[in-house]
Homo-oligomer: A and B are copies of this chain.
Amino acid sequence: MRATIQDVAREAGVSVATVSRAMRGMTHVAEDTRRRVLETAQRLGYAPHFGASSLAGGTTGMIGLVAPYFHIWYASQVLTGVEHVLSASSRDLVIFAGDTPENRARFLDRLPSLVTRIDGLILVDFFPNEDELRALRESGLALVAVGEELPGVASISIDNFEGAYRATNHLIDMGHTNIALGGGRQLSLDASPVLALRIDGYRAALEDAGLKPRVEYDLGGLLSSTGGRAAIDELLDLAEPPTAIFFLSDEMAMGGLAQARRRGLHVPSELSVVGFDDHNMAEAAGLTTIRQRVRELGVLAAQRMVAFADQDREGSHELVPVELVVRHTTSGPH
Contact = CB atoms under 8 A, between A and B. Distances in A.
Interface of A: 2, 45, 47-56, 60, 62, 69-73, 75-77, 79-80, 83-84, 87, 92-97, 103, 106, 112-113, 115-117, 225, 228-229, 251, 254-255, 257-259, 262, 280-281, 283-286, 295
Contacts of A117: 50, 92
A257 B113 CA distance: 50
A37 B129 CA distance: 32
Given A51-B56, A87-B106, 5 more contacts: A45-B112, A50-B54, A52-B116, A94-B94, A257-B284
Nearest to A84: B97
A76 B70 contact: yes
B83 A95 contact: yes
A71 B79 contact: yes
A27 to B, nearest CB: 23
Nearest to A116: B50
A12 B113 CA distance: 20
Q: Name the residue among A2, A49, A257 with the largest chain B CB count within 10 angstroms.
A: A49
A52 B50 contact: no
Number of copies: 2
A51 B51 contact: yes
Contact of A112 (B47, B70, B93): B47
A275 to B, nearest CB: 12
A71 B60 contact: no
Contacts of A60: 50-51
B280 A262 contact: no
A97 B71 contact: no
Contact of A92 (B49, B94, B228): B94
Contacts of A295: 71
A237 to B, nearest CB: 20
A109 to B, nearest CB: 10
